[in-house]
Structure 1
């Protein structure tokens, strides 16, 4: 290809995949980029690898497939390399860093594995009917890709032992759906695995359509996964999910009657769905009557002791500056970092943000205003209902017995 300039003019400055096409429409090389025009133009510069010069001279055309994000381009690139086995991608194929994603077929709770290319031909990975995706350029890239995906579709990986009764670390940070503690059925988990297979098969739109019926929150999050910036030659992931997708949101509210029978109520939203089975009540034990701030502190400290419960991605307290300032100090002493927001009734349900929440995240939280106010009201109703019924017969009432924690 001696006169590339006409082709370069037509290439967009967007993310996507490019293919160098040779004689008889044969694919010589597949690559991807966050800026297609800039990346493809580099192949026509001086002082480049002789192997690249050879490939460019053999090329008759460059074909482009635009993607919305680099995230999608990475998956498409892997699928096209697998499909065409281009001659000039072979060097990468033989490289030790060349990796695949493998999903076992015949297990109850499949865990995705990252496997080097050569390992596919030996041992337990050889010809056993597993789902295999790739090749990908390196382990770190695929690890980061999976981390982003698991924020939207939680999956079991690594040291998670199914039904062991002990929550794994990934469960506590929202990457595992709770296979370890039996928080998800086998059928529901298999749905998540099927969704992962659709995504890595390049069927993102089909997956979004499926999720719009089954889990609208995940569908919204998947639509708005955004990319990655190139810094010093390395691709470092920055995830920005439209209206910020918080996998788990917890709202805390204190209710009492004249300083007596004080309860802390916690309402929960997971994956954009209110999950009432995750609601919790705390019978306040040590905080003085009428001291809502101390009651809130006691409640949150006790909540954080329950490591078997998945940790929140966003904490919301019913209160203004005093409550947020105090709880922020408590979290700091506990060396625990969660985004913290207060909802001040006295200021017309104004949001009060704790330090450390940047402007873009604040805007995303503001965009969730209706949902967060509704969740705050849920916590208030839940706490008042328990308090009123609990005062009649706290030892017998089903609601209090089921949800109340004294630990």
Structure 2
């Protein structure tokens, strides 16, 4: 393809999948992009890989399929690679080093597994009739996809043992529907697995239609996630941070139901990454039922007693001026100095800064707005989910122990 300019003019600046087409309409390569025009134009720049030069010279056309999100593009790309087995996708990466999503067929509570291509040819994964989706480019990418999906369609994975009577870690943070403690029937769980199969088969619209009938709340949530997807989920938090301003950020949130069963939840970001194994949950013991400020004080005091946990470079509380003023006083009495900021819902998620934070630090915090709001929502979700699902009779020692697991 020696004159690409006419083709490039027609390519939109949207997310989607592109295919380089060769002789006899043969697909040479399949790729995906957040911005199709920008990505495809990179194939025609100088000083590129000789393998790419060879592929571009053989190409006679570039066909594109627009998607609403990068999320959809990743799934479509995997399905097209599986369908066409393009020469230059396989050459780019040993086919055995791709990863696949495997869903077993003949078990009561199927758990999705991430499996490398080489493992599909040996052992328990070989020719056993499982559902297999992919190939995907890497384990990390597929893990992120599953995290996003499981916020809408909770699924059993990893350490979850069906009907063990012991809530798994994922259950506590809202990613498992309760297979571990018998909270979901086999029939209900199989519906969730079928929904996952529809989604990875590229049948999103069919899935949304199904959910609108069976579970309207999930249908709305799925549409929302399709809009925010990987970019404005975990990845957008990283993009919004850019330069790393704080090594460790902790966000504190209080949740209760009518003043009863009050819990403090702590979410954590370290080195620009959400670190769920560092999340902590505190059952509030001494603060009055409806006194969120006293509950917040108790939680933070107890957190600071744990010197084995790395101290934060930034503390964020869910609340406005009263919460920030009170916690600032508590920190002062404890003779500890951490930058402290509140996020006031009542004022449209406005930042409330504690005294002593200079202008440059305030600017850094403002630059991280998307990340901090996301981390605040994580703490809120974590606390509410844990409070609602089986933590009422668990001591603080067991809570801390449970939430030390590494994902």
Relative to the length of structure 1, the TM-score reads 0.63
| Cα offset, 1:326, TM superposition | 6.3
Separation of aligned partners in 2, 1:213 and 1:244: 45
Structure 1 unmatched ranges of 5 or more: none
| Cα offset, 1:164, TM superposition | 0.9
Match of 2:295 in 1: 295
Farther-moved stretch of structure 1 (15-24 vs 240-249): 240-249
CA 1:56/1:362 → structure 2, altered by over 3 Å: closer, same or farther?
Answer: same
Contact 1:70 1:227 in 2 (8 A): no
| Cα offset, 1:78, TM superposition | 0.2
Write out per-residue CA displacement over residues 46-102 of structure 1, whole angstroms, 9 at most, x where no aligned residue: 222222112111111100000011111000000000011111111245255410000
Contact 1:161 1:179 in 2 (8 A): yes
The residue matched to 2:12 in structure 1 has which SS? coil
Contact 1:93 1:117 in 2 (8 A): no
| Cα offset, 1:217, TM superposition | 2.2
Farther-moved stretch of structure 1 (140-149 vs 344-353): 344-353
CA 1:287/1:43 → structure 2, altered by over 3 Å: closer, same or farther?
Answer: closer
| Cα offset, 1:382, TM superposition | 22
Match of 2:339 in 1: 339
Contact 2:161 2:179 in 1 (8 A): yes
Write out per-residue CA displacement over residues 251-293 of structure 1, whole angstroms, 9 at most, x where no aligned residue: 9999999999999999999999999999999999966799896
Farther-moved stretch of structure 1 (360-369 vs 10-19): 360-369
| Cα offset, 1:107, TM superposition | 0.6
Q: CA RMSD in A?
A: 10.1
Contact 1:265 1:279 in 2 (8 A): yes
Match of 2:390 in 1: 390
Write out per-residue CA displacement over residues 146-184 of structure 1, whole angstroms, 9 at most, x where no aligned residue: 111111111111111111111111111111111111121
CA 1:267/1:117 → structure 2, altered by over 3 Å: closer, same or farther?
Answer: closer
The residue matched to 1:77 in structure 2 has which SS? helix
CA 1:218/1:109 → structure 2, altered by over 3 Å: closer, same or farther?
Answer: same
CA 1:13/1:28 → structure 2, altered by over 3 Å: closer, same or farther?
Answer: same
The residue matched to 1:261 in structure 2 has which SS? strand
| Cα offset, 1:224, TM superposition | 2.2
CA 1:94/1:301 → structure 2, altered by over 3 Å: closer, same or farther?
Answer: same
Separation of aligned partners in 1, 2:358 and 2:15: 27
CA 1:309/1:111 → structure 2, altered by over 3 Å: closer, same or farther?
Answer: farther
Match of 1:258 in 2: 258
Farther-moved stretch of structure 1 (150-159 vs 91-100): 91-100
The residue matched to 2:389 in structure 1 has which SS? helix
Farther-moved stretch of structure 1 (317-326 vs 160-169): 317-326
The residue matched to 1:386 in structure 2 has which SS? helix
Farther-moved stretch of structure 1 (18-27 vs 259-268): 259-268
The residue matched to 2:392 in structure 1 has which SS? helix
Separation of aligned partners in 2, 1:38 and 1:86: 22
Contact 2:159 2:168 in 1 (8 A): yes
Contact 1:27 1:86 in 2 (8 A): yes
Farther-moved stretch of structure 1 (163-172 vs 64-73): 163-172
Separation of aligned partners in 1, 2:188 and 2:364: 29
| Cα offset, 1:128, TM superposition | 0.4
Separation of aligned partners in 1, 2:158 and 2:387: 42
Relative to the length of structure 2, the TM-score reads 0.63
| Cα offset, 1:225, TM superposition | 2.1
Write out per-residue CA displacement over residues 188-207 of structure 1, whole angstroms, 9 at most, x where no aligned residue: 11111111111100011111
The residue matched to 1:338 in structure 2 has which SS? coil
| Cα offset, 1:396, TM superposition | 29
Separation of aligned partners in 1, 2:388 and 2:74: 56
CA 1:226/1:87 → structure 2, altered by over 3 Å: closer, same or farther?
Answer: same
CA 1:69/1:379 → structure 2, altered by over 3 Å: closer, same or farther?
Answer: closer
CA 1:67/1:242 → structure 2, altered by over 3 Å: closer, same or farther?
Answer: farther
Separation of aligned partners in 1, 2:223 and 2:42: 31
Structure 2 unmatched ranges of 5 or more: none
Match of 1:115 in 2: 115
Match of 1:327 in 2: 327
Separation of aligned partners in 2, 1:316 and 1:286: 22
Farther-moved stretch of structure 1 (33-42 vs 95-104): 95-104
Farther-moved stretch of structure 1 (291-300 vs 100-109): 291-300
CA 1:247/1:49 → structure 2, altered by over 3 Å: closer, same or farther?
Answer: closer
Which has the higher Rg, Structure 1 or Structure 2?
A: 1
CA 1:306/1:149 → structure 2, altered by over 3 Å: closer, same or farther?
Answer: farther
Match of 1:146 in 2: 146
Contact 1:228 1:239 in 2 (8 A): no
Separation of aligned partners in 2, 1:231 and 1:380: 21
